[in-house]
Each structure stands twice: as C-alpha cells, then as structure tokens.
Amino acid sequence: MSVQTGIVMLNLGGPATLDEVGPFLVRLFADREIIQLPLQAWLGPFIARRRTAAVQENYRLIGGGSPILRWTTIQGEGMIRWLDRLSPATAPHRFYVAFRYAPPFSEDALRQMQADGVQRAVAFTQYPQFSCATTGSSLNELWRAARRLGLSNAFSWSVIDRWPTHPGFIEAMTRSVQLGLEQFPAAERDNVLLLFSAHSLPLKIIDRGDPYPQEIGASVQAVMERLGFAYEYLLAYQSAVGPVRWLGPQTEQVIKQLGAQGRRNVLVVPIAFTSDHIETLAEIDHEYGELAHRVGITNFKRVPALNDDENFQRTLADLVADHLASGRNHSRQYPLRCPGCTSDQCRNLLNPVASPESVELAHNSQLRL
C-alpha cells in the first residue's frame, strides 16, 4: 500500500559513531544560517578539526554516539500509531527523519518518500521554538535537496513551523519538571530553583529580529503558569561555540553565580530539547554537573527528557492531525521575515498545497529566487 501522507521530522541530528563526529562538525560550521565566520570555507573546517577530539570524548562519555535518531524513531512510530486513528482521511501516514548535519539527510527522506508513493507531505520541525538558524535552516535545506533530486513537484507540501506553547507540549514539560522535583528530598523541594536552559544562538542572528528568544520565553512562561509559579526560576542558554558573540546569559556562568550565592538545590529544565542527546547527556549531566559540585550546589539535577513518553507521542500526533484538518499550510507567523533578513531563501514553501496564503507565499518565493 502506498503512503498517502508523509511526515518529515526535521532536527539537527547527531553523529551515531565517533568516526562521524568530524564530518558532523564540518557540516555544522559550514552552515552560514547558524553561524557566520570570516573566511568560512577555511575557518569552518579549521574549527571543526580543532574541536573533533574534544567532542569525540563527550560522545564517548554517553556511549560512543548520539541517541537522537533512536529517540526520534521511537517518537515517530508512536506519532504514526496515533495519527492513523486521529486522521483516517489522510492515512496511511509514515514518518521520515531528515537531519541537518548527520544521516539520515533530507535527500534520504525524499528518496524514500518517492519510493513509497507519498503525495501529501508535511515538514514537521522538532524544534518547538522557531529560529531561522534551526527550523529555518532545516526547511531551506529540505527545499534545496528536493530541487537537487529533481523532486520539486513530487509532493504537495505544508509545514508545522513552530509549537512553543502547544498545550500538549507544555503539559509534557510540566510533567517532566514534576518528575524532576521528585529527585529532591521532600523537605528541600520548596527551595529548588528551576534553571530553564535552551541552546544559544549567535547574537548576529538575534539582532536581525529572529523570534527565538521570545518563543523560548513563551514556553518558559507557559510551564511556570502550569506549575502555578510555585518555584523560583531562571532562563539561560548553553552550547555556545566559535569566535562570535552568543545569546546569554550562559548556563555555565549562571551555575557558577548560583553557587556563589549559596544555592544548593537546582533543577535544570532543557526547554528547547524534546529528547536526550549530547547537550543533555554530556553538557548538562557531566560538564555542568561537575561544575555545580565544584561551586557547592549539592543537589543539581535535570528533568527527564521526553524520549519515549507516550503522552508526548500523542502530542506530536495531535499537532499533525490539527494541522492537516486546518487546511493551513503554515503558521500565521511563518511568512514574516526578520526585519534585518538579507537571505533570498527564508520563508519559502516548495510546491505548497493550494490555499490562499500558500499561493501568496509561493508567489513571493518565486520573486526572490
């Protein structure tokens, strides 16, 4: 039976083995949509080579490779089980993984979709909060890959481009916080500080008007509302690399400052990540955990990732089912380009499913190409 609707799950990805770390970093530092360097064709590979050994050691700490493909596969399988029941009119559905910097790439997903006979396709970002450097970069690469393969008109597309305050996502993150709090002695829980941590971005991207900071803030606010603002909380950003200025405050620095203030109970909430990978398992658990111990934070914990949470899989299915039923091809915000944007690729939609807003978006995209 051919697949009627294909759901492409977009994410950054991660190296599955230690040998894949170098190529992964080369692709990452070559992407000018996430980081712009002087003489990037030379400096990008140079930085990648310099960082490879250290990053390999981090992956060795978590078992020799990233688990993100395994968790994305589990989440996709659960999503499809729900989706076939929630939206029988668009079934059968199948999910396809398209990572930006590690296999499987966009080309891999598109070739399999063609082989499966997919007609209707949904590009579904796995970044809840939109940024040009994450969702935007992944979508741009998906459209480029389709053109490279001669598949520009093979599928009718729509996109789920953001979901920072979706009730199911907020409920899932709230449950994770509640589970995380159970790691603390009952007598200490009222004194726990929630440290929300999100992946940082270069300030050059933020200064163009990228919506990422406000969407991260919206997610944090929604979770805290769900918790009744019962705990003190902060927001910080992690994973800054390279010789450019990044959005802060940096999570590492905040941990040092909290230790200096005498805080003893800190629960980290990775608000932008929907599964475990290097940033949670190595950076937060190992690197930040050791730092917290050194600065006197005696109870430093992290909330469990959503990984194989069945309720979260239902949330993913709800997002897609609602999107398909809406008849819309994207969010209201998607066509809005950053005020300082100079790229001719942003906010495109390849071969969109017919709708009034998609006709206008496709027209505008053609004018820029």
- 276-296 pLDDT, tens digit per residue, is 999 999 999 999 999 999 999
Q: Would residue 322 show up in a list of annotated catalytic residues for this protein?
A: no
Please choose, from the candidates 335, 128, 323, the residue with its C-alpha nearest in 3D space to the C-alpha of residue 212.
128
Distance CA 170, CA 178 (A): 12
Query: How much is the average pLDDT of 325-339?
Result: 95
Q: How confident is the model at residue 364 (pLDDT cuts 50, 70, 90)?
A: low
**323 assigned to a ligand binding site:** no
Distance CA 79, CA 306 (A): 13
Q: What is the pTM of this model?
A: 0.93
Q: Out of 166, 277, 323, 330, which one is annotated catalytic? A: 166
Mean pLDDT (the chain, rounded) = 93
**The predicted structure's pLDDT at residue 201:** 94
Quick check: 322 pLDDT over 50? yes
Integer Rg of the chain from CA: 20
Q: How confident is the model at residue 360 (pLDDT cuts 50, 70, 90)?
A: low
The residue that leads in pLDDT, 367 or 154, is 154
**In what order do the strands lie in the sheet containing 5-11?**
93-99, 5-11, 120-125, 156-160
Write out pLDDT tens, residues 160-216. 999 999 999 999 999 999 999 999 999 999 999 999 999 999 999 999 999 999 999
319: Cα within 13 Å, side-chain hemisphere: 32
Q: Which residue, chain included where needed, has tokens 């992964």?
A: 24
Write out pLDDT tens, residues 106-156. 999 999 999 999 999 999 999 999 999 999 999 999 999 999 999 999 999
Give strand pairing partners of 103: none
Write out pLDDT tens, residues 311-320. 999 999 999 9
**The predicted structure's pLDDT at residue 47:** 87
Q: How confident is the model at residue 30 (pLDDT cuts 50, 70, 90)?
A: confident
Please report which helix (H) or strand (E) contains residue 107, including its range.
Answer: helix 106-116
Query: How much is the average pLDDT of 341-347?
Result: 83
* Token pair listed for 223: 């979770």
Please choose, from the candidates 96, 83, 201, the residue with its C-alpha nearest in 3D space to the C-alpha of residue 142.
96
Structural contact between residues 348 and 157, judged by C-beta atoms closer than 8 angstroms: no
Please report which helix (H) or strand (E) contains residue 98, including its range.
Answer: strand 93-99
The reply to whether omega before 23 is within 30° of 0 (cis) is no
**225 assigned to a ligand binding site:** no
Q: How confident is the model at residue 347 (pLDDT cuts 50, 70, 90)?
A: confident
- Residue 54, class by beta-carbon neighbours within 10 Å (0-12 exposed, 13-18 middle, 19+ buried)? exposed
Q: Would residue 323 show up in a list of annotated catalytic residues for this protein?
A: no
Other CB atoms within 10 A of residue 294 CB = 11
Coil, strand or helix at 171: helix
Q: How confident is the model at residue 307 (pLDDT cuts 50, 70, 90)?
A: very high
Q: How confident is the model at residue 361 (pLDDT cuts 50, 70, 90)?
A: low
Angle, in degrees to the nearest 10, between helices 212-226 and 167-181: 60
**The predicted structure's pLDDT at residue 173:** 98
Q: How confident is the model at residue 357 (pLDDT cuts 50, 70, 90)?
A: low
Q: Out of 161, 309, 318, 330, which one is annotated catalytic? A: 318
Please choose, from the candidates 278, 284, 289, the residue with its C-alpha nearest in 3D space to the C-alpha of residue 71.
278
Quick check: 34 pLDDT over 90? no
Write out pLDDT tens, residues 84-94. 999 999 999 99
Q: How confident is the model at residue 241 (pLDDT cuts 50, 70, 90)?
A: confident
Q: Which residue, chain included where needed, has tokens 């600065």?
A: 295
Please report the DSSP string for 267-320 in residue order. EEEETT-SS--HIIIIIIIIIIHHHHHHTT-SEEEEPPP-TT-HHHHHHHHHHH
Quick check: 369 pLDDT over 70? no
Structural contact between residues 197 and 284, judged by C-beta atoms closer than 8 angstroms: yes
Distance CA 47, CA 138 (A): 22
Coil, strand or helix at 332: coil
Angle, in degrees to the nearest 10, between helices 21-30 and 40-61: 140
Residues 63, 68, 74: CA angle, nearest 5 degrees:
115
Please choose, from the candidates 79, 52, 26, the residue with its C-alpha nearest in 3D space to the C-alpha of residue 322.
79
* Token pair listed for 154: 């093979």
Percent of the chain surpassing pLDDT 90: 85
Structural contact between residues 95 and 5, judged by C-beta atoms closer than 8 angstroms: no
The reply to whether omega before 304 is within 30° of 0 (cis) is no
Beta-strand relationship, 156-160 and 193-199: unpaired
What stretches of 164-250 show up as alpha helix (H) in DSSP? 167-181, 203-207, 212-226
